[in-house]
Structure 1
């Protein structure tokens, strides 16, 4: 794999076609792709009335990446975090960009109109070949690890401790194969959880120390 930062783009080249599961704007659900991209945006990039999906697809086409799984973030891409973990010979690699300016507590919603937008975007690569069911289970492990990291970073909102943001996106990638499970009792889940937690926690801690402004939730 190769990770390349060329702002406003961050690209994770998977090295070969993989099965990827996400809820990305451009290619959600189960797809086959060989790269995952982030696009850094500012308010000026997304004026009121813009068809964001059409704009983003045009941006990706201009880069020659129309087939990529792609995410958007207002977080400075140079603040990306990377973490790896290996358990019983199974390796997981995670890249995360973490912004919490539109953080939410699960089961509640805050009025975010007029505020800056942030997000947590996570890409997780597992080198173990998986069935689609196991890839779905992997997505749940990444989500658990993301949530644990955000909660332990300690951002308190009026409705309780933040658990994520309103615009999070997660993409998990693995070669297609016959490994049927990726639950918490498996080494693959341990590697996935450890790598994801480490990357998101570092990103959240940095945001809490250096980006969060007094009086801003």
Structure 2
């Protein structure tokens, strides 16, 4: 995973095309991609009449990045956190940006604050090929790790302990070459490495935000 930050862009080069599963704004679903990008946004970008997906597509096209998977964040992209875990011969890397001005308790939504659109965005590279069921299982572990970090370190809201934000996104990438692993559970080396890398990247971001939350919510 090669990381490049050139604000308002943060990018990850996976080194070769990977199978990427996400619900990102640009190229969501199950796709083949070599790069995963963040685009930092501000109030000036997000006008009331803006159609976000075409706007982001045009921004990417201007950089010859239409084939990349891309997410949006209001967090300063320079405040990213990278973690690596290697277990049983499998390496997993996670890169996260964490903004919590839009924090939520699962099952207890609040009225969105238009001045606060934080998010937890994470790109994950698995150094192995996975079959589709294992890739879906791996996504649940990445989300579980993010949630565990939030429960341990995140803010307490009027609705209870925050478990995420209203606009979180995860882009999970697995290699295309090699024998595909059929499982990614918590009891496997892959599951352990995946959970550790994702937890550590998000936890570092949550700690940083809690220690120094932005003075203007939704602007960092």
Residue 101 of structure 1 aligns with which residue?
101
- Cα-to-partner distance string for 1:52-108 (whole Å, 9 max, x where unaligned): 111000000001100111000000001000000000111000000000001000001
Residue 62 of structure 1 aligns with which residue?
62
Q: Is the 2:154–2:206 contact (alpha carbons within 8 Å) kept by the matching residues of 1? A: no
User: What are the equivalent positions in structure 2 for 1:16-35 lying under 5 Å apart?
Assistant: 16-35=16-35
Q: Which runs of 5+ in 1 are unaligned?
A: none
Please state which structure has a larger fraction of its residues in helix: 1
- Cα-to-partner distance string for 1:10-54 (whole Å, 9 max, x where unaligned): 110001010000001111111000010000000101111011111
Matched position secondary structure for 2:145:
helix
Report the CA distance shift for 1:78/1:27 in structure 2 as closer, same or farther (over 3 A).
same
Residue 111 of structure 2 aligns with which residue?
111
Inter-partner Cα distance in structure 1 for 2:12 and 2:155: 29
Match of 2:184 among 176, 182, 185: 182
Inter-partner Cα distance in structure 2 for 1:120 and 1:114: 17
Q: Which runs of 5+ in 2 are unaligned?
A: 216-220
Inter-partner Cα distance in structure 1 for 2:73 and 2:130: 28
TM-score by length of 2: 0.95
Q: Is the 2:128–2:175 contact (alpha carbons within 8 Å) kept by the matching residues of 1? A: yes
Matched position secondary structure for 1:55:
helix
Structure 2 residue 84 is matched with structure 1 residue 87: no
Residue 166 of structure 1 aligns with which residue?
166
Inter-partner Cα distance in structure 1 for 2:210 and 2:186: 29
Residue 207 of structure 2 aligns with which residue?
205
Stretches of 4+ moved more than 3 A in 1?
none
Inter-partner Cα distance in structure 1 for 2:100 and 2:2: 27
Residue 8 of structure 2 aligns with which residue?
8
- Distance apart, 1:212 and its partner CA: 5.7
Inter-partner Cα distance in structure 2 for 1:78 and 1:94: 15
Matched position secondary structure for 1:144:
helix
